[in-house]
Amino acid sequence: MINENKKFRLLKLASVAALIAVAATMSSCAARPDRQTTSGIPDDYRTRHPITLAEVQHNLDVPVGTGEHRLPTGTRDLIRGFVQDYAALSSGTMLVAAPTQSANAGTAQVLKAEVRRVLINAGVKPSRVVVTSYDPSNVEASAPIRLSFVAVTAITGECGQWPTDLFGPTIMDNTNWENFGCATQQNLAAQIANPTDLVGPRGTSPIDAQRRAEVIRVYREGDTTP
C-alpha cells in the first residue's frame, strides 16, 4: 500500500508539472501587450495596411496619330468607358488637355473638340468639361490627349515591403510578416464600387407596399405557388 501511495503522489506531481509547463508555453506564445491581436495572432493586417479614402486623380491618355481627321471607333469606346468611371465616382470637372509643340500637336488641337463631344454625348455635362493644353516632355514624339478628373477613392499603401527576415523574428514572436495581407487589402480597395461604404451603411430603400401585401397574403393563406 505504501508503494501504491507513493506512485499515486508521483503521478499527481507529474500531472501538476505538466500543467505548469503547458501554461508557461501558452503564456510565452500569447500576444505581447504592445501589439494588437486578432484570433490570437498579433499584428492585424487591417491595422498595418489600412484602407483609407483620399482624393485621387484618375487619368486616361487618348492616343492621337499624326494626320488623323477623326477619332477611331476603338478610341471613342475607350473614352466612353472612362466616362462610366467618372459617373460612378465624381461629379466634378473633366479636364481635356491637348499637347502643344509635339509631333502631332496640330492633329491633337483639332481632335480635342471631338473628344469633348464624345464626353458630352456619354453623359458629362458641358459645363463640367474644361479644355486646356499642356507641354509634353518630348516634343519630337507624338503625345496623347489627356483626360483627368479627381474623385474620392479607396486606397492602400504600396505592397512589397520586406524589412525583416521572413523566417526570423516573425516565427519566434508569432507575428505576421510586413507584407502579409497587403495584396488582399489592395484588391478589396480596387473592387469597392462606392468608397463611402467604408464610412457607413447606406440608407434603406422605401418599402414596396404591394410586394409586402402579397407576401402577407401568401403567409396567411398558406399558398405555396410563386
What residue type is 130 in one-letter code?
Answer: V
Homologous superfamily assigned to 55-151: OmpA-like domain (3.30.1330.60)
- What DSSP character marks residue 211? H
Enter the pTM of the model: 0.61
| CA atoms 163, 55, 64, 144: torsion sign | negative
Residues 6+ apart with CB under 8 A from 177: 162, 164, 166, 170
| More reliable by pLDDT, 122 or 66 | 122
Q: What does the pLDDT look like over 169-208, one tens digit per residue?
A: 666 677 777 888 889 999 988 888 888 888 888 888 888 8
Helix (H) or strand (E) segment spanning residue 57 = strand 52-62
- What DSSP character marks residue 124? -
Q: What does the pLDDT look like over 45-96, one tens digit per residue?
A: 888 888 888 889 999 999 998 888 899 999 999 999 999 999 988 889 999 9
Give the other-Cβ count within 10 Å of 207's Cβ.
Answer: 8
pLDDT at 4: 58
Segments making up each domain of the chain, as ranges: 32-51+156-199, 55-151
Helix (H) or strand (E) segment spanning residue 37 = strand 37-38
* Residue 17: CA count within 13 A, CB half-sphere: 6
Q: What torsion, rounded to 10 degrees, do the Cα atoms 32, 33, 38, 42 define?
A: -30
